[in-house]
């Protein structure tokens, strides 16, 4: 079954594998409409989730704010997003969530408009972001700070939401001078004549971007379900990272994300690049996560955070043993 709803410019997809049995456990997942949604399509098409008794339903969000509110309100059980959003839920919204796996390095690049040739050229213009105080917005603020530009003084924030909205804003131009973009949107901007001033991992170092997080209460009450879900995701990701599946993976991106062959090919090849794209087996990068915490403390302030406060990888460790 495939039901597609369009919410603004971001699509919400509800997908259940054709092999899903009536007694499979429903798990609702929320993520962003990027090329990195490929493992979900693979997991449904190839039956990796169904193999573990999981009936997957996933939808795309319009923004990280809507995503965090939806998780807190019980609209879905699992979020795949920048793990800094989980930290924001805990520290700002005071919602008890826990990060249960890694995911990817973000495939993020600092994209600028056609008339921007340096970081200094952003002065007096707008930085386009999702939420203004989490994840990739913090990366952008740090990069600009290193080049002498301070938020609210030297440039303003234009918080428009998820990748499709940032793409639209950047293509519209005007004062929209810069944005952190990931695949396929970064590739689309470059095809349109915009430019990249560098990858964030090269500009700032290792960064644990994407990961999975859930309400801690749900994890405690549904541990075996979470482990089976993670096992299905790990198997899906292994398929994606197997270069023998490259042609089929590119075809899936073209079909499911409506990408041209050139965009799908570039997206796939970059997503499997170590340190830039997917983490093998969705393992959490300790160094990358420590950098997430350090960046948040530097830009947003507050006491030095303890990683253990945000993590419970015991579900992941058990899921790894279930994965084939």
User: At 165, which CATH number?
Assistant: 3.40.190.10
Q: Are residues 173 and 188 in the same domain?
A: yes
Q: Are residues 215 and 314 in the same domain?
A: yes
DSSP 136-177: HHHHHHHHHHHTT--BTTTBEEEE--SHHHHHHHHHH-TTEE
Q: Are residues 101 and 161 in the same domain?
A: no
Q: Are residues 96 and 216 in the same domain?
A: yes
Q: Are residues 85 and 128 in the same domain?
A: no
Expressed as residue numbers, the domain containing 299 is: 2-105+207-322
CA angle at residue 164 from 162 to 168, to 5 degrees?
120
Look at residue 134 in the predicted model and tell me its pLDDT: 83
Look at residue 21 in the predicted model and tell me its pLDDT: 58
Look at residue 22 in the predicted model and tell me its pLDDT: 57
**105 against 5, higher pLDDT:** 105
pLDDT tens across 299-320, in order? 988 777 889 999 999 999 999 9
pLDDT tens across 33-71, in order? 999 999 999 999 999 999 999 999 999 999 999 999 999
CA end-to-end span of the chain = 26
Look at residue 126 in the predicted model and tell me its pLDDT: 98
């Amino acid at each position: 079954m495939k039901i597609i709803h369009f919410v603004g410019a971001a699509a919400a997809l509800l997908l259940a594998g054709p092999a899903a049995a009536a007694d499979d456990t429903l798990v609702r997942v929320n993520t962003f409409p990027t090329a990195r949604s490929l493992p979900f399509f693979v997991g449904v098409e190839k039956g990796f989730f169904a193999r573990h008794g999981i009936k997957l339903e996933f939808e795309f969000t319009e923004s990280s704010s809507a995503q965090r509110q939806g998780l807190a309100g019980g609209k879905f059980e699992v979020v795949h997003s920048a793990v800094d959003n989980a930290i924001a839920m805990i520290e700002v919204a005071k919602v008890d969530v826990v990060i249960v796996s890694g995911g990817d390095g973000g495939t993020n690049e600092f994209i600028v408009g056609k008339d921007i040739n340096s970081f200094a050229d952003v002065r007096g213009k707008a930085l386009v972001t999702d939420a203004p105080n989490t994840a990739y917005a913090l990366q952008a603020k740090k990069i600009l700070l290193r080049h002498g530009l301070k938020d609210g003084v030297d440039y303003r924030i234009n918080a428009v939401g998820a990748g499709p909205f940032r793409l639209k804003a950047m293509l519209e131009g005007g004062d929209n001078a810069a944005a952190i973009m990931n695949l396929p949107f970064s590739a689309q901007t470059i095809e349109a004549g915009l430019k990249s001033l560098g990858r964030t991992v090269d500009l700032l170092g290792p960064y644990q971007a994407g990961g999975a997080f859930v309400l801690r209460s749900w994890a405690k009450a549904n541990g075996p379900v979470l482990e089976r879900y993670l096992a299905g995701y790990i198997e899906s990701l292994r398929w994606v990272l197997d270069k023998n599946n490259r042609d089929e993976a590119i075809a899936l991106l073209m079909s499911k994300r409506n990408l041209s062959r050139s965009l799908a090919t570039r997206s796939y090849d970059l997503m499997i690049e170590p340190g830039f794209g997917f983490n093998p087996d969705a393992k959490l990068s300790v160094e990358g996560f420590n950098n997430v915490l350090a960046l948040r403390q530097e830009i947003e302030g507050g006491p030095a955070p303890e990683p253990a406060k945000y993590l419970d990888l015991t579900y992941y460790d058990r899921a790894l043993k279930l994965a084939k």
